[in-house]
Structures are given as structure tokens and as C-alpha cells.
Amino acid sequence: MSNRISFREYHQNIIERVTNRLEESLPAAWRIPSSLREAMLYSLMAGGKRMRPLLVIAACEALKGNTDAALDAACAVEMVHTYSLIHDDLPAMDNDDYRRGKLTNHKVFGEATAILAGDGLLTHAFYLVGRMAPLHGVPAERVVQMTMDLSEMAGPKGMVGGQAADMEGEQGLTELSQLEYIHLHKTSDLITFSLLAGGRIAGAEEAQLEALRAFGQKLGLAFQIQDDILDIVGDEAKLGKKTKSDMKQEKVTYPYFIGLDASRSEVKRLTAEAKEAVLGAGFPDPSRLLEAADYLMNRDH
Amino acid sequence: MSNRISFREYHQNIIERVTNRLEESLPAAWRIPSSLREAMLYSLMAGGKRMRPLLVIAACEALKGNTDAALDAACAVEMVHTYSLIHDDLPAMDNDDYRRGKLTNHKVFGEATAILAGDGLLTHAFYLVGRMAPLHGVPAERVVQMTMDLSEMAGPKGMVGGQAADMEGEQGLTELSQLEYIHLHKTSDLITFSLLAGGRIAGAEEAQLEALRAFGQKLGLAFQIQDDILDIVGDEAKLGKKTKSDMKQEKVTYPYFIGLDASRSEVKRLTAEAKEAVLGAGFPDPSRLLEAADYLMNRDH
């Protein structure tokens, strides 16, 4: 495959396509109060690795599906991710002033607008999922399934539940299983949704969806443990945020429970298992999924 | 129609069915942090007239549709309404301590949990819309359309946009058209969604949907003007909240712009026009919709 672009170029390409699509995702003809539109776009355009969008598209390509439709699902998941960051950063939650080296939403637009910007992004994500049927010809049954997946995995049983458990846990976690619950829902669920969405758009069969689910859960957990590790040993300039923040906030993390070396081994083990799940499912072209897994394991920011 | 129950009984019946369905709307098997589940249910179970659910069901019945499916859409819209109240009551927004005579969500559970409870309700609403296809056999195309309707009318162009405009306007509205924009989006849009959802479940044709849309917009505006009127002349005990709050907050209202008498005439005119829209659309049984319009116009709380 001599014409095949590198994973770095592939990733860069997706960042551009997703960012462009996000920029035009709120129809220009819609009359939206300017402060709200601006606040939503501020956080959407604040950069980031667009890893969840990449996973949507990579899963869709693994099954040779319609990547133009997948781009809408990719933007939807990025909107949900972005809304969750805006709300998490609020004074009542983590009270963060900076995110990716830029002022957080509420520091720029005020708390009320930040809350509404988050609400708006979450709500609009479902519009992008829905429109895949009329706009891109994705069968309505699959779109309905994706709507249910997204609300299950981003809602009270999923990401919102993970965040609530994280906050309950600030009074002190005592078991690794509690931390795993938080990671699984706060992080893995939306990653898993991304993979399932890509698969569903491409018409994945049940066994393939199960493989994508296993891949997502293991990858999400590895991703979060890697985050915990980078918070201890990472380079602040590369991360765009202060390290050692978990320790300062007395947050328990994977390294806290099992040590740094064992945490690193755990990231390797989970990544290997994730890749095995995908390799065993008979996808026509799983290569980008496998590369994404390696990229996430080896990242330094 | 001697066996026909009164509108009061009909309304009471819907309140009971909706409240029961809401109570079991978060699957018991789902593992959800207890603080989050409790906070979501606290506000869902805090009473209220369940007018939006009534309109979903009445619109569905007007076309002789499946009211068991409509009950899920009714619960979805009540969840969206409830989330909007929780977020609106937050200190960063309207900073209210009481709602319907009970402590507001954040006063009981804290701000962080209240934000998450709102996020959870909004997200889960889309689950209830989605499941109408697999659970109640509503055609997937109609469910997709309802998903898009809900995100359009509850999102940045709809309810969230109305709330943002309302907050921008606290610096001082100078024109009635600005106030109309706020009412139309903050209130009418979700009411219109309710009517369209009922119609779509029942397989309404385009002209019938247009009639429901016109009914919803006019009714929603009348509803909000009536609220403004009741804030001036209402009975605090019946309303379950303090009156004259708009004046105290120096909020401009319909009566502020055009006076109390003209506001009352406007409620009558809009209600009459709403009823005409429905009467002209050839629904098999529009009676409950018409009764609902009269009920809303004549209510004293």
C-alpha cells in the first residue's frame, strides 16, 4: 500500500474536516442569539485532538461505510464531548480557568451563557445524528439506534453518571473498582459510542458491533489511565495544562492504587486486548483502528 | 357523547399516567449514582400541570394515534421542560430558591448535582423519543423526525436560544418584538414540539402538522402572556410562587408594553386563532385540543 498516507496525515486530515464541518454545523439561517452562538463556537473551535471523531470515521472505514455521513456523527460526538468539558469546568464543578491553554468558556462568557452553551451543544448533537437519515440516506432504523446509544452512553447511565460518581468520589474513593466505574462511564462510554456509531452507519452486524464495543471499553480505560500517568510524568508545555493536578486535588488515580509501573503495564495490556477484539471480528480494513489504539497508548499529551 | 369524561378528569388522568411513566422512565436495571437518580426524580416528581404531556396526547388523539407511544414522547417533553427549570433556577441564572412551593434542585442537592441532573434529563429525553420505534412500533422515519424537531425546538434555535435572549434582554428590552422572540422560543417552541410529536406519532400529514404548528405557536404565546398577567394579578397561594416578581426584577413583560387590558385581549385573540387553525385542519377528534386551549386561557395559576 504505497499510496497510503501516514496515521499522522490521516489524523491531521480528520481534524481539518471535522473542524470545518463543526464550524458550519449550526445552520447559518437559524436565528440564534449572538452570545450563545459565539460561546458554542468558542469551545468547539478551541482545538483538541478530535480523537472521538477519528474513531467514528475509522470504525466506519473499517467496514467501508459512508464517511460523509460519519462526519456528522463525528461532529455530534465532539459536541457532546465539548459540552461535557464546558460544564465540568464550571465553578460549581471543577472550577477550572484554563482548558487547552485557553480561558474556559465561563471565564470568557460568564457562567449563565456557559451553562446554556453546554445545553445547546448537547441538544444540537442529536440534530446532527438525526439528520443523517434525510441528509445522507442512512437508514432511519440505524439512526434511531444511534440516538438511543448516544443518550444511553452520554446520559445518566453513561457519561453524566460517571461525572456524578466522580464528584461523589471526591469525598474519598477506597476501591479500584470505584475508580474503574468512573473511568468506564466518564470516558469509555463516549468513546464506545463513537465506535458503535461508525459501525452502525456502515451497517455492522451484531458480532462486529460487539467487537467495537469491547475495543471502545478497553481503549477508553487505557486512555484514562494514560491521562492519569501523564498527569504525573507529562510535560506541561505539551499537555497545555498543569501536571500534578490530581495529587494537588487529592484525587485518587490508577497510579495511586497500583503504582506507575503497573499502570503502564495496564495501558499496554488493555491496548493489546482492544486490538485483539478488532482483529478477531473480520473487518475489511481495521488498520486505522489499530493505529489509533497504538497512537493513544504512546501519546505524550 | 354522554360517556365522555370532563376535561378536568381527562387532565387528572393524564397527570397520573405521565407521573407513573416518568417514575419508571429510568430503567431500574441501569446502574446510576444514587445522588443523580434522586436529583433527577426529585424535580420530575415535583408536580406541575403536565400541560406539555397533555398536548402531546391530545394531538395524538385528535388523529386517533397510539397514545401508549405518545406517553413516551409526553415524558420526553416533560423531562426537557424539567431540565430547563433546574438550569434556569441555578444561582448563575435566575437564582431561585423555590419552585412550585418546593426547594429548587440545587438548594437540595447542590449546584453540581443540579447541573448534572439537568444534563441527565435532557439526554434521557432523547432515549424516550428513540425507543418509540423499537418499543411501540412507531415508524423509524417518524422517530428520526421527532428527534430533529426536539433538538431544533429545545436547542440553540429554540428554547435554549430563548433563554439566552431572555438573559441578554435583562440589560433592557426596548421593543415588543424582542419580547415576542423570547416568548416564542422560550415557551412556544417546546409546546409546538409537543403538538407535532403527537401528530407525527399518529401519522399526521403535512397540512395537519402545519395546523398543529400554528396552534402551538399561538397557544404558547398566549400561555406566556397569561403568565405575565398572573404575575401581576394572580393569587400567590394558587400560583405557588410570589407575584409581582417581574416588576421587582424590573423585567419587561407584555403588560409593561401594552397594558393589562390589551394583554388580556391578546390572550383571547391568540387563543381564538389557535383554535381556528385546528378547526380548519380536519382532525377526526380535535375536542381535547380545543378544551386545552380554553383551559390555558382561563387558568388562574
Q: Tens of pLDDT along A118-157?
A: 999 999 999 999 999 999 999 999 999 999 999 999 999 9
| CA pair distance B252, B159, nearest whole angstrom | 19
Q: Within an 8 Å CB–CB cutoff, is residue A31 touching chain B?
A: yes
B35-56 residue pLDDT tens: 999 999 999 999 889 999 999 9
Nearest CB to B155; choose among A124, A151, A160: A124
Nearest chain A residue to B146, by CA: A130
> pLDDT at residue A27 above 60?
yes
Please indicate whether, in this complex, the C-beta atoms of B152 and A111 are within 8 angstroms of each other: no
In a domain, A147, yes or no: yes
A173-191 residue pLDDT tens: 778 888 999 999 999 999 9
Nearest CB to B122; choose among A119, A127, A134: A119
| CA pair distance B205, B196, nearest whole angstrom | 11
Contact between B36 and A161 (Cβ < 8 Å): yes
| CA pair distance B197, B143, nearest whole angstrom | 9
Across the range A34-61, mean pLDDT stands at 96
> pLDDT at residue B264 above 70?
yes
A227-259 residue pLDDT tens: 999 988 877 767 666 777 776 666 778 898 999
> pLDDT at residue A301 above 90?
no
In a domain, B300, yes or no: no
- Predicted pLDDT of residue A174: 74
- Predicted pLDDT of residue B234: 76
Across the range A50-74, mean pLDDT stands at 97
> pLDDT at residue B288 above 50?
yes
- Predicted pLDDT of residue B1: 47
Angstrom CA distances, B146 to B71, B131, B195, B255, stand at: 14, 12, 11, 35
Which of A112-126, A171-185, B246-260 is the most confident on average?
A112-126
pLDDT over 70 percentage in chain B:
95
Q: Within an 8 Å CB–CB cutoff, is residue B137 touching chain A?
A: no
Reported ipTM: the value is 0.95
**Residue found under cell 465532539:** A78
Across the range B248-258, mean pLDDT stands at 81
Nearest CB to A156; choose among B26, B145, B152: B26
Neighbouring C-beta atoms of residue A95, cutoff 10 Å: 11
In a domain, B131, yes or no: yes
In a domain, B271, yes or no: yes
**Average pLDDT in chain B:** 93
Nearest CB to A164; choose among B33, B92, B160: B33
Burial class (CB in 10 A: 0-12, 13-18, 19+), B88: buried
Nearest CB to A163; choose among B116, B122, B168: B116
User: Shortest Cα distance from B167 to chain A (angstroms)?
Assistant: 8
- Predicted pLDDT of residue B147: 98
> pLDDT at residue B72 above 50?
yes
Q: Identify all chain A residues contacting B112, using CB atoms and an 8 Å cutoff.
A: 92-93, 167
- 3-state DSSP of chain B: CCCCCCHHHHHHHHHHHHHHHHHCCCCCCCCCCHHHHHHHHHHHCCCCCCHHHHHHHHHHHHCCCCHHHHHHHHHHHHHHHHHHHHHHHCCCCCCCCEECCEECHHHHHCHHHHHHHHHHHHHHHHHHHHHHHHHHCCCHHHHHHHHHHHHHHHCCCCHHHHHHHHHHHHHCCCCHHHHHHHHHHHHHHHHHHHHHHHHHHCCCCHHHHHHHHHHHHHHHHHHHHHHHHHHHHCCHHHHCCCCCHHHHCCCCCHHHHHCHHHHHHHHHHHHHHHHHHHHCCCCCCCHHHHHHHHHHHHCCC
Please indicate whether, in this complex, the C-beta atoms of A157 and B32 are within 8 angstroms of each other: yes
| CA pair distance B293, B275, nearest whole angstrom | 7
Contact between A299 and A226 (Cβ < 8 Å): yes
A72: left (phi > 0), else alpha (psi -120 to 50), else beta? Answer: alpha
- Predicted pLDDT of residue A1: 47
**Average pLDDT in chain A:** 93
Neighbouring C-beta atoms of residue B237, cutoff 10 Å: 8
Contact between B116 and A162 (Cβ < 8 Å): no
Q: Identify all chain B residues contacting A181, using CB atoms and an 8 Å cutoff.
A: 31
B-contacting residues in A 247-286 (Cβ below 8 Å): none
> pLDDT at residue B180 above 60?
yes
Nearest CB to B160; choose among A123, A144, A152: A123
A87-107 residue pLDDT tens: 999 999 999 999 988 999 999
Q: Within an 8 Å CB–CB cutoff, is residue B157 touching chain A?
A: yes
Q: Within an 8 Å CB–CB cutoff, is residue B35 touching chain A?
A: yes
pLDDT band at B32 (very low <50, low <70, confident <90, very high): very high
In a domain, A1, yes or no: no
> pLDDT at residue A2 above 90?
no
> pLDDT at residue A20 above 70?
yes
B-contacting residues in A 173-232 (Cβ below 8 Å): 181
Query: Per the structure block, which three cell numbers stand in for A55?
Result: 474513531
In a domain, B1, yes or no: no
Look at chain A and report how many structural domains it folds into.
1
User: Shortest Cα distance from B287 to chain A (angstroms)?
Assistant: 32
By residue range, what is the domain housing residue A50?
Answer: 7-298
Q: Within an 8 Å CB–CB cutoff, is residue A30 touching chain B?
A: yes
- Predicted pLDDT of residue B175: 85
pLDDT band at B139 (very low <50, low <70, confident <90, very high): very high
Q: Identify all chain A residues contacting B160, using CB atoms and an 8 Å cutoff.
A: 36, 116, 119-120, 123
Q: Within an 8 Å CB–CB cutoff, is residue B155 touching chain A?
A: yes
Give me the CATH number covering residue B22: 1.10.600.10
Q: Within an 8 Å CB–CB cutoff, is residue A110 touching chain B?
A: yes
User: Shortest Cα distance from A272 to chain B (angstroms)?
Assistant: 28
Across the range B88-101, mean pLDDT stands at 94
Q: Within an 8 Å CB–CB cutoff, is residue A169 touching chain B?
A: no
- Predicted pLDDT of residue B248: 66
- Predicted pLDDT of residue B195: 98
Nearest CB to A32; choose among B32, B124, B161: B161
Q: Within an 8 Å CB–CB cutoff, is residue A137 touching chain B?
A: no
> pLDDT at residue B241 above 70?
no
- Predicted pLDDT of residue A240: 64
User: Shortest Cα distance from A130 to chain B (angstroms)?
Assistant: 6
Q: Identify all chain A residues contacting B139, using CB atoms and an 8 Å cutoff.
A: 140
In a domain, A2, yes or no: no
Q: Identify all chain B residues contacting A170, using CB atoms and an 8 Å cutoff.
A: none
Contact between A48 and A75 (Cβ < 8 Å): no
Nearest CB to A160; choose among B111, B116, B154: B116
- Predicted pLDDT of residue B93: 95
In a domain, B61, yes or no: yes
pLDDT over 70 percentage in chain A:
95
